[in-house]
């Protein structure tokens, strides 16, 4: 039957059944309405299921958080974990240029946080170490879905350093002839932070949230693509080797022909030549080279001058063309290697270990005999602040003092004229700049007050202060520092003093007040018994002289005391302190968890190692530096720092085995635990005519700079050589070995 005939028959059939169709249309309409009603019930159940699934997801999201946190702590132990993970992910790696990958080597942590109402969106946070590309410590991007279902996104503004904006780079590659040509590169990974054009179709955000974040280890452990390709390329490699052999044979034949012309009676050199002897590359490493063309015949002398025309050497140009592809391939492979990650060549003269860049003084403070009690660098590393006070004999409790700052990047820096001078009513005992806000600095006073200044203000520099209340310290404050608060990005002030109190303060800038948020009291009857602990002299309260926060565990801190104790403490302790209430607005808790073996006098300074979570060093009036692990009461090692007191100690930020100590003899002693000798690796005289040196701090950004404050009222800025700042190949392993030793 033809197509036209089929159509005619259908028409006839339709006309014959018009009546039947009219009857069935009503039934079909009723069926459609019933289907719609049933579908509505199905949709209602689907919505109900979605709500139930959402509740379950929210529940398990909370349950996952401790495990995510634990995983982040473990990942922090693996160098270059996140950049390796991203490079190994096929979709993310497509966005990574060479400089993107270099910048991501400074990426230390990634966190994905889904909002309380999961449907409303999520945030991805990228945490970076100090790097040469941008100032930000954290880069974030948030994705939101409003009530109407419209997607949107926002992100951190990247504060690029001069000339380092990776989003504005034009990619270049090289062709085989070595000529540069412009081509279109994939967008930089970092342009993703500024691209908010289509938040609903952000593939990278979804990939990180749904694919990488649930299990980043699977991508970190992906075998190197070069290795995978290696097996598949064995045949190619064999062919390349054969090609090289052919090239060698051709070269041998040419040499053989030349030899035959010179001496027809001898055999061609292919029969006895070994490949290493005639390697062409070796001949270009010196101006004059003796070519041993065979192992049996007489030496043939040939001189190769680097300024000769290449045409003077027949066959060399052809050889270079033939091996060009092989050499380029090897160079590309080497460019992807991470063997030298973190290594920087230092071309500076290393003959001098230290040099004094500046000797800073405030004339008024020097004339009044005030001493430098504390020094602190701001977070940019450009400003040094110091607090002036007194600790010698005499009634100086109400003597006015100063906080001074110098910007070392200022062109017309005057070492004897601070950029800023803050008058303070009582001696300043300690000082600490804010970790991320360069103009904010906190100080502890002899009167027991804690003050926070904003140095960017033109008037009324006091941002907040404790004032004199029932919450305030009643004794001198010997330590202030900043600790992370409850809210993301928030920092609160920790203060500690000789009254045995460790207090945490929230900054209320609007009211210009520091508000007590929690507090701890240290009393002798609650000291944990550790076997090595013994009774200490003094009153019931344990006077605090120093504090160290663990960079590895935000809950842990160390306390050095007037009575010679070093105590491991916990912020999360719920034990109520055994002290009678004295009008405080919070209940004081007892933080002590472990007691280390006591010293013979006050412990002036303690500091955690930035390279090992269990190690710390302490110094005090016994003149010794005690190296400890938090797992044992007795020290692993004790080094003689001074025949007098030792007042300050800081671990090197770049050398795992190096620390520096300030002494009562006006010296800074630097020790290298990797040396066989227990004597200082460097002794830095502060030129104080024998007056004590009280404090020292390494610069957080320019880690080869160290500030030292002394009793003569001077602050010396020292530049350290590569010998004292560049890490050796086995230092971390040696530190780990030291940490695993058992104390005698």
Of 357 and 236, the structure prediction assigns the larger pLDDT to 357
- Say if CB 466 and CB 505 are below 8 A apart: yes
Q: For residue 447, with 0-12 CB atoms within 10 Å meaning exposed, 13-18 middle and 19 or more buried, which class applies?
A: buried
Buried b (16+ CB within 10 A) or exposed e, 694-706: bbbbbbbeebbbb
Structure tokens at 99: 């400089």
Q: 188-197, 303-312, 441-450, 581-590 — which is least confidently predicted?
A: 303-312
Report residue 138's pLDDT band, with 50, 70 and 90 as the boundaries: very high
In tens, the pLDDT along 429-441 reads 999 999 999 999 9
Mean pLDDT of all residues in 568-585: 90
Mean pLDDT of all residues in 113-125: 80
Q: Is the pLDDT at 249 greater than 60, yes or no?
A: no
Mean pLDDT of all residues in 497-503: 92
Please identify which residue in the block is written with the tokens 């199905």: 42
Mean pLDDT of all residues in 370-378: 95
In tens, the pLDDT along 16-31 reads 455 556 667 888 888 8
Q: Is the pLDDT at 9 greater than 60, yes or no?
A: no
- Give this prediction's pTM: 0.56
Buried b (16+ CB within 10 A) or exposed e, 293-319: bbeeeeeeeeeeeeeeeeeeeeebeee
Mean pLDDT of all residues in 437-447: 93
Please identify which residue in the block is written with the tokens 């053989």: 256
In tens, the pLDDT along 303-318 reads 445 455 666 677 777 8
Compute the half-sphere exposure of residue 434: CA atoms within 13 Å on the CB side of its CA: 18
Q: What pLDDT is recorded for position 289?
A: 39
Reduced to 3 states (helix: H, G, I; strand: E, B; else coil), residue 286 is coil
Q: Is the pLDDT at 396 greater than 60, yes or no?
A: no
Q: Is the pLDDT at 349 greater than 50, yes or no?
A: no
Mean pLDDT of all residues in 87-112: 89
Q: Is the pLDDT at 627 greater than 90, yes or no?
A: yes
Q: What pLDDT is recorded for position 297?
A: 39
Domains of the chain: 53-161+188-224 (3.30.1120.90), 354-739 (2.130.10.10)
Q: What pLDDT is recorded for position 538?
A: 42
Q: What pLDDT is recorded for position 344?
A: 53
Q: How far apart are CA 370 and CA 689, in angstroms?
A: 16
Residues, the chain, total?
A: 744
- Say if CB 614 and CB 624 are below 8 A apart: no
Q: Is the pLDDT at 100 greater than 50, yes or no?
A: yes
Q: What pLDDT is recorded for position 49?
A: 82
Structure tokens at 167: 């989003």
Buried b (16+ CB within 10 A) or exposed e, 461-499: bebbbbeeeebbbebbbbbbbbbeeeeeeebbbbbbbbb
- Span between the terminal Cα atoms of the chain, in Å: 106
In tens, the pLDDT along 528-548 reads 876 444 444 444 889 999 999
Mean pLDDT of all residues in 569-578: 93
Report DSSP letters for 12-36, one per residue: HHHHHTHHHHHHHHHHHHHHHHHHH
Report residue 328's pLDDT band, with 50, 70 and 90 as the boundaries: confident
Reduced to 3 states (helix: H, G, I; strand: E, B; else coil), residue 116 is coil
Q: What pLDDT is recorded for position 423?
A: 94
Mean pLDDT of all residues in 435-458: 92
Please identify which residue in the block is written with the tokens 């598949």: 232
- HEC string of 304-334? CCCCCCHHHCCCHHHHHHHHHHHHHHHHHHH
Task: Enumerate the H helices of 466-586 as residue ranges.
Answer: none
Q: How far apart are CA 160 and CA 627, in angstroms?
A: 40
Angle, alpha carbons 493-554-623 (nearest 5°): 80
- Say if CB 377 and CB 700 are below 8 A apart: yes
Structure tokens at 34: 């019933």
Q: What is the average pLDDT score of the chain?
A: 79
Phi, psi of 3 (to 5 degrees): -65, -40
User: In DSSP terms, which residues pair with 493 in a beta bridge?
Assistant: 482, 505
- Say if CB 497 and CB 520 are below 8 A apart: no
In tens, the pLDDT along 685-733 reads 998 888 999 999 999 999 999 999 999 999 999 999 988 898 888 888 9
């Amino acid at each position: 039957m033809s197509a036209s005939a089929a159509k005619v028959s259908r028409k006839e059939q339709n006309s014959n059944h018009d009546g039947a169709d009219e009857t069935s249309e009503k039934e079909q309409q009723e069926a459609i309405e019933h289907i719609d009603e049933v579908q509505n019930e199905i949709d209602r159940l689907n919505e109900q299921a979605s709500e139930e699934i959402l509740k379950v997801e929210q529940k398990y999201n909370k349950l996952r958080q401790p495990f995510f946190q634990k995983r982040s702590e473990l990942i922090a132990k693996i160098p270059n974990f996140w950049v390796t993970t991203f490079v190994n992910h096929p979709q993310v790696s497509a966005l990574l240029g060479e400089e993107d990958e270099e910048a991501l080597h400074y990426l230390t942590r990634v966190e994905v946080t889904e909002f309380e109402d999961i449907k409303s969106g999520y945030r991805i946070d990228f945490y970076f170490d100090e790097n040469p590309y941008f100032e930000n410590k954290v880069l974030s991007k948030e994705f939101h879905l409003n009530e109407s279902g419209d997607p949107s996104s926002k992100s951190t503004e990247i504060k690029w350093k001069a000339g380092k904006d990776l989003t504005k780079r034009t990619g270049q590659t090289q062709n085989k002839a070595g000529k540069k040509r412009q081509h279109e590169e994939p967008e930089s990974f970092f342009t993703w932070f500024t691209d908010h054009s289509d938040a609903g179709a952000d593939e990278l955000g979804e990939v990180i949230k749904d694919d990488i974040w649930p299990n980043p280890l699977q991508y970190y452990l992906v075998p190197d693509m070069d290795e995978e390709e290696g097996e598949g390329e064995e045949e190619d490699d064999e062919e390349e080797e054969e090609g090289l052999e052919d090239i060698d044979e051709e070269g041998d034949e040419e040499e053989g022909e030349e030899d035959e012309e010179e001496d027809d009676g001898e055999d061609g050199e292919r029969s006895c030549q070994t490949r290493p002897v005639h390697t062409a590359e070796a001949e270009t490493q010196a101006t004059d080279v003796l070519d041993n063309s065979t192992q049996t015949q007489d030496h043939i002398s040939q001189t190769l001058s680097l300024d000769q025309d290449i045409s003077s050497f027949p066959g060399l140009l052809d050889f270079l063309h033939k091996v060009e592809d092989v050499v380029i391939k090897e160079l590309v492979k080497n460019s992807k290697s991470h063997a030298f990650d973190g290594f920087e060549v230092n071309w500076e003269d290393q003959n001098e270990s230290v040099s004094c860049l500046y000797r800073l003084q405030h004339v008024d403070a020097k004339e009044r005999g005030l001493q430098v009690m504390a020094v602190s660098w701001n977070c940019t590393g450009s400003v040094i602040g110091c607090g002036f006070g007194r600790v010698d004999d005499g009634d100086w409790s109400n003597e006015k003092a100063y906080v001074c700052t110098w910007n070392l990047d200022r062109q017309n820096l005057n070492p004897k004229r601070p950029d800023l001078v803050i008058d303070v009513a009582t001696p300043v005992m300690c000082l600490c700049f804010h970790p991320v806000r360069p103009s904010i600095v906190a100080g502890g006073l002899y009167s027991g007050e804690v003050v926070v200044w904003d140095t960017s203000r033109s008037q009324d520099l006091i941002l907040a202060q404790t004032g004199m209340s029932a919450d305030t310290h009643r004794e001198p404050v010997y330590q202030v520092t900043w600790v992370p608060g409850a809210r993301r990005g928030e920092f609160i002030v920790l203060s500690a003093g000789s009254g045995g109190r460790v207090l945490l303060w929230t900054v209320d800038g609007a009211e210009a007040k520091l508000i007590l948020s929690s507090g701890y009291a240290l009393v002798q009857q609650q000291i944990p018994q550790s076997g090595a602990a013994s009774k200490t002299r003094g009153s019931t309260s344990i006077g605090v002289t120093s504090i160290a926060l663990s960079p590895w565990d935000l809950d842990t801190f160390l306390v050095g005391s007037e009575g010679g104790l070093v105590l491991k403490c916990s912020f999360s302790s719920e034990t109520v302190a055994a002290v009678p209430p004295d009008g405080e607005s919070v209940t004081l808790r007892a933080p002590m968890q472990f007691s280390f073996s006591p010293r013979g006098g006050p412990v002036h300074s303690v500091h955690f190692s930035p390279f090992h979570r269990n190690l710390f060093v302490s110094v005090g009036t016994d003149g010794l530096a005690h190296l400890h692990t938090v797992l044992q009461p007795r020290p692993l090692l004790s080094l003689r720092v001074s025949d007098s007191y030792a007042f300050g100690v800081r671990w090197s930020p770049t050398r795992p085995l190096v620390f520096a100590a300030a002494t009562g003899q006006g010296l800074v002693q630097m020790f290298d635990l990797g040396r066989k000798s227990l004597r200082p690796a460097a002794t830095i005289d502060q030129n104080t005519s024998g007056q004590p040196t009280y404090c020292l701090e390494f610069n957080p950004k320019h880690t080869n700079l160290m500030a030292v404050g002394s009793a003569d009222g001077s602050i010396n800025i020292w530049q350290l050589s590569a010998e004292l700042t560049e890490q050796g190949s086995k230092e971390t392993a040696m530190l780990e070995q030291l940490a695993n030793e058992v104390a005698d």
